[in-house]
Amino acid sequence: IIKKHTKSNGNVFSKDELVIAYRNLAGKHGLKSVQEKLLNSIKMKPTRTQSGVAPITVLTKPFPCPGKCIFCPSDVRMPKSYLSDEPGAQRAERNWFDPYLQTYNRLQALENIGHSVSKAELIVLGGTWSFYPEKYQIWFIKECFRALNDFGIKDDRLKIEKYYADLKVSLEKNSEKVLTNDPIKNKDEFSDYKIEGEYISKTYNQTVSQLYIAPEKMGGFDVYQSSSWDELLKEQEINETADVRSVGLVIETRPDNISEKEVIRIRKLGCTKAQIGFQSLSDDVLEKNKRGHGVDATRRAVKLLRMAGVKIHAHWMANLYGSSVENDKKDYEKLFADIDFRPDELKIYPCSLIGSAELMQYFKKGLWKPYSYEELLEVLSYCLMNTPEYCRLTRVIRDIPSGDIVEGNKLTNFRQIAEQKLDKAGKESKDIRAREIKNLVFDPKDLRLVETSYKTSTSNEVFLQYVVDSSKVKNKFGHLINDNENSNEASKNKIVAFLRLSLPTEKGFIDELENSAIIREIHVYGAVVDVGKKRGEKSQHLGLGKKLIERAIEIASGESGSVASGKIKESGRYKNLAVISAIGTKEYYRKRGFKDGELYQIMSI
């Protein structure tokens, strides 16, 4: 049809043009009734929102980093550890690392290709978040929220264009070398400042301070990039009932930057999840890689975050200097065997050799080398097979452009390769991501509730999940997925929704949470459904979240005979149930009986 009805110049219409045109016509000429069918037919990259939310990834500006890790790249156009050729980094550079522009334009891009963006998860990346000045952090998050709020009311596009122009003028006034919004031009302009890891004559921190930090202060630009808590609170309050809501806020930091004060501060920002670099659980490996902290710092950081109900999204690296295939396997086992860790989510990043990293010196001297294909496959397939069902493996290989990798693995689909190896051996990964329902169809009557309990250093955790047997799940064509012997969708239990319930076993440092069990996360999988709408056999808005909360109340109050009943007796009964709600989910929890506190929403049970 697209080829038959071309533009006047003979070119075909792009899918984003079709989506925009359809939305302009929606509700007219009888088109509204075919909305879902049409948008699903032309939607681009449907996996972007099949986990139930629209992920909005934004990067902070280039800034000095407290770490000296030998494996970390030093691209002076980027915040530490990021590379200018990575897709997310290029999006940030095209928007001058401005949080408002990054957020607004990412929302626009997702909507243009057919996605609902009413439930947005803000993912703030860029080195060590906790090391940036507090006023910059407040401003950055405030601007992200302002973009969500403005996008919901479709702010005037001309206003956005003017914002671009004003920002460019401000930048050019304050610095000799200014990053433009053209990555190709910047690559040429900043080539003289490139850091070579083979022989480091200047550090990343020195170069970034010279190029950005000093000029910003001289021109007063750092004052522009600052806000007050009251200004942030104003945008957060608007977002509670906005058309585009923040249903999660993620920050990225290091274990040695986590303290009681820091946990409370990121919670005030609206943070619900922390991406935190474990990298290794071996003090020897951490020291050899100049990580700057030991395993004890990681233990303490996890303990403080878990006490506050914050979800822990760990980063773990294989193939680090000083490790080996067998040591990596043992280290990975420790992630879940040791009660001090047991992360909720995990990114597995095998070490890649990047030209600007100090590791180049070790490689040249023959002290370190990347794993072979077979060695990497052995480690990754072992990791997949030994991840518990309460953890989600969000990434297995970092998406580094092959041109930036000097030597070693350049395949970005290694997860799929490892899964195929397991499949041939009759084994499978039990992690959450491998079992997500995605866009598959099921009968709600086939759902069953499964409860799993495990112990941590500060709590007893109960992982409640609604699952459906894969033999009863159909694809979009109405076929049972197990009818296809070659289907990668085959798994015993497809996960449709889950709740993480924390039953503290010791007194925490936040008075508001005293004598409270904590809901650390509720997630319902399936394609994003707009706030307030319901949809047939799809998983969102089936009332599963409400049912999970009711079950959590039973467990926390001690009225349950669940698998966790023994743990409850050990933990004691709780007077309250708290939830670490995102700003945009507060309204949802209010309707279910939770009252607003300073940092949490709490219900008396």
C-alpha pair distances (Å), 444 with each of 126, 469, 591: 41, 11, 23
Residue 565: its pLDDT value, please?
Answer: 46
Residue carrying structure tokens 């902290």: 293
Segment (H or E) for 58? strand 54-59
pLDDT along the chain (605 residues), means of 10: 86 79 65 58 58 88 94 94 90 91 91 86 93 96 95 65 66 66 87 86 90 81 90 97 96 96 97 98 98 97 98 98 98 98 97 95 96 97 97 92 89 92 92 90 92 97 95 78 48 88 96 97 75 54 90 90 50 88 97 97 97
For residues 181 and 548, what is the distance between their CA atoms, to the nearest angstrom? 46
Task: Specify the long-range contacts of residues 66-69, CB closer than 8 Å, at least 24 apart.
Answer: 66/128, 66/131, 66/254, 66/256, 66/257, 66/292, 67/128, 67/254, 67/290, 67/291, 67/292, 68/290, 68/292, 68/358, 69/279, 69/289, 69/290, 69/291, 69/292
In this prediction the pTM is 0.88
For the residues of 506-563, what is the DSSP string, one character each?
A: S--S-GGGTTEEEEEEEEE-SS---TT---TTSSTTSSHHHHHHHHHHHHHTT---ST
As a whole number of Å, the end-to-end CA separation of the chain is: 58
Residue 302: its pLDDT value, please?
Answer: 98
Residue 532: its pLDDT value, please?
Answer: 56
In contact, 72 and 357? CB cutoff 8 Å: yes
Centroid of chain to Cα 289: 25
Bridge partner residues of 58 (DSSP): 124
Residue 561: its pLDDT value, please?
Answer: 57
Residue 41: its pLDDT value, please?
Answer: 65
Segment (H or E) for 273? strand 273-279
Strand order in the sheet with 345-348: 54-59, 119-125, 245-253, 273-279, 311-316, 345-348, 392-395
User: How many other C-beta atoms lie within 10 A of the C-beta of residue 31?
Assistant: 13
Alpha helices in 270-408 (DSSP H): 283-288, 295-307, 325-337, 359-364, 373-385
Amino acid at 517: A
Tokens at 145, concatenated: 């929220």
For residues 93 and 89, what is the distance between their CA atoms, to the nearest angstrom? 6
In contact, 268 and 229? CB cutoff 8 Å: yes
In contact, 497 and 466? CB cutoff 8 Å: yes
Closest-CA residue to 472 (of 491, 451, 485): 491
Bridge partner residues of 310 (DSSP): none
Residue 199: its pLDDT value, please?
Answer: 83
